[in-house]
Structure 1
Amino acid sequence: MIPSKAKWKFTYSNDDLPHFDHQLSISSLTERLLVQRGISTNEEAQRFLTPELTHLLNPMLLKDMDKAVARVKQAIVKGESILVFGDYDADGVSSTTLMVEALQELGAICDYYIPNRFTEGYGPNEDAFKAAHKQGYTVIITVDTGIAAVHEAEVAKQLGIDLIITDHHEEQEVLPNAFAIIHPKCSPEYSFKELAGVGVAFKFAQALLGYFPNQFLDLVVIGTIADLVPLVNENRVLAHFGLKAITSTKRPGLVALKNNCNIEGAVTEENIGFLIGPRINAVGRLQDANAAVDLLLTKDMVQADELAQFIDQLNQERQKIVTEISKEAEELVEADSTGMNEKVIIVAKEGWNEGVLGIVASKLVRIYDRPAIVLSINKEKKTAKGSARSIAAFDLFSNCMQIRKDFINFGGHAQAAGMTLAEENISVIRKKLNQLASEQLSADDFKQLLTIDHTVEIKDLDVSLIVELNKLAPFGMGNPKPLFHVRAVPTELRQIGNQKNHLKMSIEQAEAKLDSIGFGMGDMYSKISPNAEMDLIGELEINEWNGKRKVQLLLKDLAITEWQLFDYRGSKHWRKQLIPLLGEQSAAVTFQTIDGTGSLPPEINHVQIDENWEVDYELTMVEDLILLDLPNSLEQLAQVIKAINPSRIYACYLVHEGHYFNSIPNREDFKWFYAMLLKHKEFNISVDTPKLSKHKSWKPEKIRFITQVFFELEFVKIENGILKPHSQPSKKDLTEAPIYQQKLNQLEIETTLYYSNYKELKKWFTSEMNEVVSPKEEVTHGL
């Protein structure tokens, strides 16, 4: 048995049969996936599968849009200077670039400003606004920021600056008193509320220009995907056409960035999320983000190449810093003996780079399945500043808003946030958030959730089906890549990679085969027993190699719900192989008087089974049962198996002098020996045994066994080592002799437990297993 690492949630029902028009020409599986995404009509399905730019909403539906457009155009006519105030992440950088280019196209006198993460922090600030005023700016447009800038809006008003806020972050209790606020969540008539910051900026640019600006789609897709907004509705349309635009873009900065990332052909959402986005983000994480904006704005290919190489170097440095801080953060978590990080992890240390703490928090969430806040302490200011990431079941924004007074600054989303607080408040916030989490979350909430779209049969999978399923892309938040469940038996299993850290297998189901690969799952190799039926969860993809295209399952999790047998019979090296596999609930069992535990770790419980043995509660909790020698009877082992009902059995016994090959003499052997004894009247055991052994090619053990059987049955008597026949022998069957019964018993034990093949051995153990399912066998993932 191998439990799943994640919590599995099966979202489908065989009763949910869709009824789409045949004109869609899609498989029933694709139809089911559409239904699970809330799509139930032909029109909705058509819009989802074939997005159109006409599906986008009118930007004038956004509150204050008309007012903001009029003010910007007025500024252009009067020659006023306009400052675009952005943010330092990929969404903010792409938003800033887009807005600057739109204003330049309109002939505006404009520039951009992105605050330094380390010296100014997130969002608008008073000093920056005052500096802008001195430089003659009369209009400031924020992009991807500003909704929490209540004080800064008042500063702008006092300075005579008209502040136009475009943002998408969660609004707080009080809105800024700005000239205009363009924000989907603050716009009752705008039905879609989940635009990224760059999406809002795009809408503003469209309204300003008076036409649909296709030239900005390559920018829109970066912020939309990198900022992890739901890829549904308008975001799906923008991402769909944005991926096409960035694939064919002539923008020097993006061409250089793609070359730097070795992206060829069609750009995918994975390319944005794992290659392009992180590089743009790296700039603002380590210094001010101007280089990233300059890269996207430049029209010079030489400058673009130089900036792209510089940004790649920053990204490599960022990766190194993340590795170092992550290690230190994990050490702090592991060293915590107070239990205060039980539900929500909060770690803090002086000197940590503030720019990468969100990535570190994400790593902690993946490792510990807990919400995590990672803070850098400033001893001079006596403050702590950092980032937070959460699990699906814990709304970080709403819970932190309940204790908002304990933060100096706070903002973000349900799953991600940034904050500044007094150093002395770290323990206060830790205590309060852990209390809130304790009240809201169950044990299952702390397991990663895998939402499974469907169970598939291997025989139904082919390349054309996967091509069709990819019509559901681009995948992301709100439209995750489908996860499928397959139940099958592995026919080939191996570790691959330089570090043997990946798991490669072929699985078979009713003679149909499917390749599967689990990256980072190489440690599972030794935990999977032969012929075990497995439940696999993964994504279906097309693997192309040497011109051949095959369906492949990209493994995300696995489970084995049946008990497992690991066969180390006859091996002298089983300790080296076995010990790394054992968990805390392990027991080594011996039946003979000799202690066979050898060099097993002391934490493994050793149990000697004899006629006085009784099962105790602790033994019933054992998951791993190690059998170190053979029992005195099959019934004795069966009693142990039924009492413990283990999840895994390790057969580690070795037979040195087996009875299997020293088979029991047949009746003709016994008859010949008795006739010989009657003829010669006596048999000198020590003298005549070697002679007879040579004459009949019998082993001495066989001769001794025959004499012992005759003696126990009172067919013969033994005096001074001389064997003589009884004058009146008893009438008994050979099988009545105790030694004969013992030999039969031992032969049965060895035949069943040692000389059987794997399937035969497992069948015997299975037949003896307790039929009552114990609590430790409960399946937690819904199967």
Structure 2
Amino acid sequence: MRWTLKPKPETSKIEALQKALQIDSVLATLLLQRGIETYDQAKSFFRPSLDDLHDPYLMKDMDKAVARIEKAIANNENILVYGDYDVDGTTSVALMSTYLKTRYSLVHTYIPNRYDEGYGISYKGVNFALENDFTLIIALDCGIKSIEKVAFAKEKGIDFVICDHHRPGDDIPKAAAVLDPKREDCNYPYKELCGCGVGFKLIQALAQKEGKTLDDLTEYLDLVATAIGADIVPITGENRVLAYYGLLVINTNPRPGIRAILSQVEKTELTITDVVFIVAPRINAAGRMKHGNYAVALLTETEEDLAAKYASEINDYNLDRRETDKRITEEALKQIEEQKEQKRFTTVVYDETWHKGVIGIVASRLTETYYRPTLVFTKSGEKLAASARSVKDFDVYNALWACSEHLEQFGGHKYAAGLTLKEENYEAFKQAFEDVVAKTIDKNLLVPEIKADIEIDLDHITPKFYRVLKQFAPFGPNNMAPIFMTENLTDTGYGKCVGADKTHLRLTTTQPGASSIVCIGFGMGDKFDLISDKKPFRAVYSIDENEWQGKVSLQLKLRDIKA
């Protein structure tokens, strides 16, 4: 791994912020690295407020979206709430349908089938609306590129209101309204909302028309926080406020579906990381292994007993998903090993039998292993479908754009995307993708990087210091948990490999003149020799709490160690 230290802010700025906030220089440095330079900015950061959310009507087409929905309600039209089968899509559908049903009964939901419809708006979905007399479709977390399907629906007398956050293509669909902060002609101040976040802005605008305030909408924020965590959007600006208040709801009074998921795990207070690794995979498993409708049913259920039943079923899907992705990952790794004689800048694998529902997870695992922009393909009907994952700081979406002549369709983000192509175009695309990445990627990006925020000594780590550090949460992209670097460490002599298969490293470390502190390094058992016999080493780590037999103590969560 490459270790880099983030640039230190100007000394004058550190001193000014230290003085304004009455904090030490390390905390002042960490804040400045996050773009926080004044007392007022720090107050907003440490005390997120719903008052900091923007007026939803600043978003392009928001007035049109509200007008079209109000018209549908006034005219007793059937409204279809349509969303993708992943966490962002299903939480969006749950949010919008639940809110609309507090005002109006003719509201139904639709989640496309991952296997015969694929991602986004489908002709099958539009035909379903046509056959069942829906005249308005509210599409969430999808639709920004569905030019032909929206036009087809319009010909049949069906309007669309699109709430999306993906990058638009050259044209915008001719819908009744298109809400997407990434539209070039949209001046909305915050661009990084997830699909559920855009949906929340729409219900905020609808609620304002009724004279309601944000305080009336906090019950929906458990869904928004779950989507923010799962979709890996920046935890800055509005997302930070929505995640903060959403976590409060999750930890105090979540909807029955989320409470039923949490009853399956022993966890007292959830962080956004817990949401990502506990709640999100279970919601996702429904769409991966069965159908996204199961996730919407869970998230909209109001009866505790039924919610518990749905959560139990979804937990079974998640167990199936784990077994399937483990098997396919092993097969993919074997395939890559057999191709090892070629030096490549990308990892591209294909097997027509692989389960489409888990290829995104497998792509993530392969990226962690080989640290290359990665594509995992499987057969999907007459075509091939793939999930793409990227390495830090390389835009895989742009790479796919450069190869788009070989593709049927694609969409996504900088680090994750999906695509389909004809089988006969697979080899040509595979080579084109390799060529584009080879030409455009900075070769340093092919070695995993750990960016440490600041170098400190162990004696800086105190309960008081950690109490302030905890208030930097919720953590996520653009506001990651601070990473520290410390030199000249030694094990006190009790370091050992732990875990059932001895793959983890546990030690108690000290530094000349400092107290000792426990360290845990998950998956770092192979580095035991670096610390044995009291050899000096250096470490990069984050700080967290360890609870053991009722006692809570600080520990270092090692990210890497070197001699």
| TM-score (norm: length of structure 2) | 0.95
1:142/1:166 contact within 8 Å kept: yes
Deviation, structure 1 residue 549: 3.2
Could you tell me which amino acid in structure 2 is paired with residue 172 of structure 1?
G
TM alignment of 1:291-302, pairs within 5 A? 291-302=294-305
1:247 aligned to which of 245, 251, 254: 251
3-state DSSP of counterpart to 2:533:
coil
Q: In the aligned structure 1, how far is the partner of 2:451 from the partner of 2:402?
A: 30
Q: Runs of 5+ in structure 2 lacking a partner?
A: none
The one of 45, 48, 52 equivalent to 2:45 is: 48
2:265 matches 1:270:
no
| SS of corresponding position for 1:257 | helix
What is aligned with 1:10? 5
Asked if structure 1 preserves the Cα contact closer than 8 Å seen for 2:18 and 2:25, the reply is no
The one-letter amino acid of 1:365's match is: T
1:466–1:542 Cα contact (<8 Å) kept: no
* Distance in 2, Cα, partners of 1:307 & 1:66: 37
Name the residue aligned to 1:227: 231
CA distance in 1, matches of 2:427, 2:463: 54
User: Comparing 490-499 with 72-81, which one deviates more in the overlay?
Assistant: 490-499
Deviations 1:529-586 (A, max 9, x none): 52322110111112233343332110011111xxxxxxxxxxxxxxxxxxxxxxxxxx
Matches of 2:441 and 2:133, distance apart in 1: 53
CA displacement 1:506-547 (0-9 Å, x = unmatched): 222113222111011112113545232211011111223334
Greater mean deviation of Cα atoms: 216-225 or 187-196: 187-196
Please state whether the residue corresponding to 2:160 is helix, strand or coil: strand
Instruction: Judge conservation of contact 1:83–1:139 (CA < 8 Å) in 2.
Output: yes
Asked if residue 316 in structure 1 is aligned to residue 311 in structure 2, the reply is no
1:573-722, aligned counterparts within 5 Å?
none
Deviation readout 1:669-728 (Å, 9 max, x if unpaired): xxxxxxxxxxxxxxxxxxxxxxxxxxxxxxxxxxxxxxxxxxxxxxxxxxxxxxxxxxxx
Contact 2:290 2:317 in 1 (8 A): no
Distance 1:500 1:526 in 2: 14
Query: In structure 2, the residue corresponding to 1:393 is in which secondary structure?
Result: coil
- Deviation for aligned residue 1:207: 0.8
* Deviations 1:448-505 (CA, angstroms, capped at 9, x unpaired): 1211111111112112211210111000111111101011122222111221111011
In structure 1, give the amino acid aligned to 2:188.
Y
Conserved 8 A contact 1:371-1:391 = yes
C-alpha separation between the residues in 2 aligned to 1:139 and 1:14? 52
> Among 170, 192, 195, which residue is 1:194 paired with?
192
* 2:513 matched residue in structure 1: 511
Q: Deviation per CA, 1:238-264, whole angstroms, max 9, x where unpaired?
A: 000110011112521111111013332
Query: d(CA) in 1 for partners of 2:99 and 2:449?
Result: 42
SS in 1 for 2:534: coil
Report the counterpart of residue 574 of structure 1 in structure 2.
none
For residues 262 and 156 of structure 1, the distance between their equivalents in structure 2, rounded to whole angstroms, comes to: 47
Does 2:153 align with 1:151? Answer: no
Report the AA paired with residue 377 of structure 1: K
Give the stretch that moved more between structures: 463-472 or 321-330.
Answer: 463-472
Q: For 1:422-501, what aligned pairs fall within 5 Å after superposition?
A: 422-487=422-487, 488-492=489-493, 493-501=495-503
RMSD: 1.5
Q: Number of residues paired by the alignment?
A: 551
Residue 361 of structure 2 corresponds to which residue in structure 1?
A: 359
Aligned to 1:420: 420
CA distance in 1, matches of 2:73, 2:442: 57
- How far off is 1:22 after superposition? 4.2
Q: Deviations over 1:11-40 (max 9, x none)?
A: 042754511264634332221111001111
Q: Please give the per-residue CA displacement for 1:221-244, whole angstroms capped at 9, x wherever unaligned.
A: 110111100000000000001100
Check whether the contact 2:68–2:176 (CA below 8 A) recurs between aligned residues: no
2:8 is aligned with what amino acid? Answer: S
Aligned-pair CA distance for 1:7: 1.3
SS at match of 2:471: helix
Alignment of 1:523 with 2:520, yes or no, is no
Deviates further, 397-406 or 313-322? 397-406
Partner of 1:555: 558
Tell me what 1:214 maps to: 218
What amino acid sits opposite 1:363 in the alignment? R
Of residues 29, 38, 57 in structure 2, which corresponds to 1:32? 29
- Once residues 3 and 526 of structure 2 are traced to their aligned partners in structure 1, the CA distance between those partners, rounded to angstroms, is 21
The one-letter amino acid of 1:476's match is G
Partner of 2:81: 84
Inter-partner Cα distance in structure 1 for 2:503 and 2:408? 44
User: Tell me, what secondary structure is at the counterpart of 1:184?
Assistant: coil
Structure 1: gaps spanning 5 or more residues: 1-5, 561-783
What corresponds to 1:404 in structure 2? Answer: 404
Match of 1:603 in 2: none
Give the Cα separation in 2 of the matches to 1:393 and 1:344. 15
Tell me which moved more, 482-491 or 528-537.
528-537
Residue by residue over 1:98-123, the C-alpha shift from the partner in whole angstroms, topping out at 9 and shown as x without a partner, is 00011111214110100000011001
**1:333 matched residue in structure 2:** 336
Aligned pairs for 1:564-579 within 5 A: none
Name the SS for the 1:209 alignment partner.
helix
Instruction: Work out whether 1:236 is the aligned partner of 2:260.
Output: no
Answer whether contact 1:536 1:557 (CA < 8 A) is retained.
yes
Residues 92, 143 of structure 1: 8 Å contact kept: yes
Could you tell me whether the CA contact under 8 Å between 1:130 and 1:159 is conserved in 2? no
**Contact between 1:218 and 1:243, CA under 8 Å: does it hold in 2?**
yes
CA contact (8 A) 2:79 2:106 kept: yes
Residue 69 of structure 1 corresponds to which residue in structure 2?
A: 66
- The superposition leaves residues 418-439 of structure 1 with CA deviations (integer Å, 9 ceiling, x where unpaired) of 0111112222122112112222
For residue 435 of structure 2, what is the amino acid of its counterpart? Q
Q: Does residue 101 of the first structure (1) align with residue 105 of the second (2)?
A: no
Deviation at 1:399, TM superposition (A): 1.2
Deviation at 1:441, TM superposition (A): 2.5
Which one-letter code corresponds to 2:255 in the other structure?
A: R
Structure 1 residue identity aligned to 2:187: E
Q: Does 1:344 align with 2:346?
A: yes
Q: Is the 8 A contact 2:530 2:562 kept in 1?
A: no
- Paired with 2:108 and 2:176, the residues of 1 have a C-alpha distance of 19
Q: Structure 1 residues 337, 542: CA separation in 2 closer, same or farther (over 3 Å shift)?
A: closer
- Whole-Å separation in 1 of the counterparts to 2:399 and 2:325: 27
Name the structure, 1 or 2, with higher relative contact order (CA <8 Å, separation 6+). 2
Structure 1 distance, partners of 2:188, 2:10, is 36
Residue 446 of structure 1 deviates from its aligned partner by 0.6
- TM-score between both structures, scaled by the size of structure 1: 0.69
Letter in structure 2 aligned against 1:133? L
* Of 136, 141, 148, the match for 1:139: 136
Partner of 1:622: none
Q: Partner amino acid for 1:111? A: H
Whether the 8 Å contact between 1:462 and 1:550 is mirrored in structure 2 is no
SS at match of 1:411: strand
Q: Give the distance between the partners of 2:539 and 2:106, measured in 1 at CA.
A: 59
Give the Cα separation in 2 of the matches to 1:350 and 1:475: 38
1:91 is displaced (CA, Å) by 0.8
C-alpha distance in 2 between matches for 1:177 and 1:403: 27
Quote the residue 2:260 is aligned against.
Answer: 256
